[in-house]
Each structure stands twice: as C-alpha cells, then as structure tokens.
Amino acid sequence: MEQYKQIAEKIKEADGILIGASNGLSIAEGYNIFANDEKFRSHFADFQRKYGIRSLIQGSFGRFETENEMWSYYSRMAYYYMYHTQSSLLMQTLYMLVKEKPHFVVTSNTDDHFAVAGFDRKSIFEIEGNMKDMQCARGCHAQVYSNREVVFTMREHEQGMEIPAEYLPRCPICGGTMQIHVPVNQAFVRGKDWQAQSECYMDFIDSFHNKFRRNQLGLTAIYH
C-alpha cells in the first residue's frame, strides 16, 4: 500500500506522464491474447478444432484456407475483443490518475482500450495498429480505413467459419483483399495517421527533454 501512495504522490508532483503499455496491461484487464482461456474457446472453438489454434495471437498469424475464413476470424477478434467490450475499472482508474496532467500513451496493444477509457486519441501512439482499422493486404497504398461497419455486417451474415463473398471488403485501389490493420505480416502499413501520432509522441518527448525519471511500474513521470 505504501508503494502505491508513493506512486500517487509522484504523479501529483510530475509535470507530465508518459505511459508505456503492452500486453501486461491487457492481461491485468482480463484480456489475454496468449491464453487458451474460456473467452477464447467460446468464440473460436471451431477454429481451434480445425487448425489447432490455442490463442488469439496464434490465430492472428494463422494461414487460413480462404479469405472468407480469414475475415471470419478477424471479424470475431475485432468484435469480441474490442467493439463488444466496455472500459475496465483498471483503465478508468489509470485515466483518472493522469487526466489532469499532460500525458501521452505509447502502446503495442491493438485493442483501442485507452480511447474507450477516455484517453484522447491525439495522445495515443499505437505502434502496432488497431483492430478497429483495416488496410490493403498487399500494402499497395498506405491509407487505413475503419472496419466498424464491415465487422458488424460480417457478424450478422457469418455462415459457420466463413463470411459470404459479398460481404468481404475490397481494396479501393487495387481491388484486392483487405486485412485488419495489425502487423500480421510484412504488409503492415504506416499511414499518415500512424506517422502523425509518431510525431506527436516525439514532440511530447522533446517538450520534456531531460526531465524523465522511470519508476518500477513502467510509468515515466516527468518531474520539475
């Protein structure tokens, strides 16, 4: 308890807060992309039987027989692990702790949970993309598109492990396959929004140059 009091005091003293977050934070929320847990089995039992997939992350890099199956998997992943979730108490508490201070989030998480909890998207750099977006699977251009409407439509029309062809998204430039905007292969694109957030991150760092001191929880507090 004393440790938490000390951390709270340091946050109060700080000029700004830099939050670095990866899968450990998601696991603390009860969202474990590495686990063959009840949530994963309830949504992907059919993929588990066919392909032997034992976790969300394993399936993300899976080689599916058809584009229809690929989007069946990705649409479930986006829907049940992002669109169909509410902000956790942990994320709400974290936001309440830092919201009155200048702050920035750099994260490898792709679940959009920071924004859902209230963090300004302009203050979040998602270095590995976000499940709410999609891109050309070939990476023929760097534009990223929202997949919300596509995902919800797929959830309505899925047949077994497949999405009917008429509901599959197409690249508006080359007409080819689209995929979720996370780095599942070498085609991951770093579009203008990704570049803009990268620059915002560097601007935040530059504005507090030489003022960083790291604590043991991975929060970097910027002190007077």
In a domain, 9, yes or no: no
Quote the domain boundaries for residue 110: 15-222
In a domain, 39, yes or no: yes
In a domain, 194, yes or no: yes
Backbone angles phi, psi at 74, to 5 degrees: -65, -40
What is the model's pLDDT at position 210? 63
Question: Distance between CA atoms of 123 and 199, rounded to whole angstroms?
Answer: 11
What is the model's pLDDT at position 197? 95
In a domain, 41, yes or no: yes
What is the CA 30 to chain-centroid distance, rounded?
15
pLDDT in tens, the chain (224 residues): 677 677 778 888 888 899 999 989 989 988 899 999 999 999 999 999 999 999 999 999 989 999 999 999 999 999 999 998 889 999 999 999 899 999 999 999 999 999 999 999 999 999 999 999 999 999 999 999 999 999 999 999 999 999 999 999 999 999 999 999 999 999 999 989 999 999 999 999 888 876 655 444 444 544 33
In a domain, 3, yes or no: no
Count of domains observed in the chain: 1
Asked if residue 200 belongs to a known ligand binding site, the reply is yes
In a domain, 70, yes or no: yes
pTM of the model: 0.86
- The gap between the terminal CA atoms of the chain, to the nearest Å, is 25
Asked if residue 171 belongs to a known ligand binding site, the reply is yes
Asked if residue 174 belongs to a known ligand binding site, the reply is no
In a domain, 152, yes or no: yes
In a domain, 7, yes or no: no
Please state, in angstroms and as integers, the Cα–Cα distance from residue 62 to each residue in 27, 78, 157, 184, following that order: 22, 16, 22, 9
